[in-house]
Amino acid sequence: MSTRLSLLAATAALLMPVMASASTLSGLPESCFTYEVSGTKTAPHGLKAKIMHATLTGTDITLDIRGVSLSDPSGHVENATLERFNAVAAYAALSAFRGGISPACKDQGLTINSSDIRGGTPQATWTDVTLARPGHDMTIRKASIQAVQTTPDLRLKVEGSGIHDTKQPLMPTQLSADLTVQGLDTARQQITINALHAVTGSSAVDGRGTIEPGATASTSAADLHIGVTNVDTLIGQIRDTAPKKVVAALTIARLMGRQSGDATLWDVGLSGGVVTVNRIPLPFSVP
């Protein structure tokens, strides 16, 4: 059985290199995605590479990494599988940075076999990461992912530090998440956010909840609980740098939240295309 890329984008993926080829990403032609690494060497139960470069063909969107390290201490996951997952992770990161699948990649199938990681505990680190497009860069000093459980559900711990985005003033500088994916080999998965913590400016964001991703937002479901500290300070910090619609949205969100000490809390739901905030339906439906 296999799980689709939409799930991998959430899991961020299990990494490593070699030139993209039919054996690495059989579902994606070079007209959609290219991928290469250099300075690779085998490590105990894993692989390392000095440099990795990937791009969505024809988009001017690139991913460059100056240090890739992957291992599976249990020894269950083969290096060829780690290589393929690394390429999938690169493709997912590029697509997320673009804000969606590029036209050249439409209707291109890409799946991974979840059975390949059963029983393993693969972990990976990307160092000095740059996602770039003309006029917009996002850099991450270090990003890591660890599969702490693969049977019967997939549980992942993800961390990112030294994050900076030239276009997104609310982008956290630090991020950590503990996620569990249930129903990995079924038509519909459930992602449980056991814990989410992020730091942006002088504010901290904490969250938990569940997401059931569907083919569209209207067929998806979510039950999320989010808290942000020092919201007023955060609004003041971004007032002169963020787009006016971002400031307005955060101001409205603050008014809809409830206070608990220095934190503003929201219960956010999605069902049947209707979004609710603290049980109040918003006056629009998502497609």
For residues 141 and 196, state if they share a domain: no
For residues 52 and 20, state if they share a domain: yes
For residues 6 and 68, state if they share a domain: yes
- Contact between 6 and 215 under an 8 Å Cβ cutoff? The reply is no
Q: What is the pLDDT of residues 127-186, one digit of tens each?
A: 999 999 999 999 999 999 988 988 888 899 999 999 999 988 889 999 999 999 998 777
For residues 130 and 175, state if they share a domain: no
**Who has greater pLDDT, 9 or 83?**
83
Q: What is the pLDDT of residues 112-128, one digit of tens each?
A: 567 778 888 888 899 99
The token duo for 275 is 């979004």
For residues 118 and 2, state if they share a domain: yes
For position 112, what pLDDT does the model report?
A: 57
Instruction: Give the pTM.
Output: 0.80
Last residue of a domain, one of 147, 180, 210: 147
pLDDT band with cut points at 50, 70 and 90 for residue 109: low
For residues 37 and 173, state if they share a domain: no
Q: What is the DSSP letter of 92?
A: H
- Contact between 17 and 52 under an 8 Å Cβ cutoff? The reply is yes
Q: State yes or no: pLDDT of 5 exceeds 70.
A: no
Q: State yes or no: pLDDT of 19 exceeds 70.
A: no
For residues 139 and 232, state if they share a domain: no
For residues 178 and 140, state if they share a domain: no
- Would 111 be classed as within a structural domain? yes
159-163, 176-180, 273-277, 279-283: which has the minimum mean pLDDT? 279-283
CA-nearest of 170, 176, 92 to 131 is: 92
Provide the domain count of the chain.
Answer: 2
- Would 119 be classed as within a structural domain? yes
Q: What is the DSSP letter of 27?
A: T
Last residue of a domain, one of 114, 147, 180: 147
Q: In terms of residue numbers, what domain contains 287? A: 169-287
CA distances from 114 to 4, 185, 208, 231 (A): 10, 7, 25, 40
Q: State yes or no: pLDDT of 7 exceeds 50.
A: no
- In sequence order, which residues have a C-beta less than 8 Å from that of residue 15 and are 6 or more positions away? 68, 69, 70, 82, 85, 86, 89, 124, 125, 126, 145
For residues 184 and 115, state if they share a domain: no
For position 24, what pLDDT does the model report?
A: 54
> How many Å apart are CA 23 and CA 80, to the nearest integer?
9
